[in-house]
């Protein structure tokens, strides 16, 4: 069991959908704090992916489709 699940054992009982909702909320709280420091390698990868998306917009996936894919 991870350290987080030891501190918050009720998370172990949550459904996968509830866990994903929690992840979404956590990311939003981090994003809205304005204090995200990304390593240069992550920014480089994001740039690479954006360029690939600009070259082929059909690569894009809406959030609902992404969640559906993750649930499989």
Per-residue confidence (pLDDT) for residue 41, from 0 to 100 = 96
Per-residue confidence (pLDDT) for residue 23, from 0 to 100 = 94
Residue 71's closest CA among 34, 20, 2? 20
Token representation of residue 40: 């240069």
- Cα distances from 26 to residues 4, 29, 34, 55, in angstroms, run 14, 5, 13, 31
- Residues 1-5, mean pLDDT to the nearest whole number: 76
**Tens digit of each residue's pLDDT (9 = 90 or more) over 28-59:** 998 888 878 889 999 999 999 999 999 999 98
> Cα-flanking dihedrals φ and ψ of residue 60, to 5°?
-65, 150
- The angle at the Cα of 35, spanning 30 to 39, to the nearest 5 degrees, equals 100
**Tens digit of each residue's pLDDT (9 = 90 or more) over 7-17:** 988 998 999 99
Residue 5 has pLDDT above 90, yes or no: no
User: pTM, whole model, 2 decimals?
Assistant: 0.48
């Amino acid at each position: 069991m991870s350290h987080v699940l030891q501190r918050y054992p009720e998370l172990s009982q949550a459904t996968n959908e509830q866990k994903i909702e929690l992840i979404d909320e956590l990311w939003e709280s981090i994003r809205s704090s304005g204090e995200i420091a990304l390593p240069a390698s992550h920014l480089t990868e994001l740039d690479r992916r954006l360029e690939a998306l600009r070259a082929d917009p059909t690569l894009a996936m809406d959030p609902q489709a992404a969640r559906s894919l993750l649930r499989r």
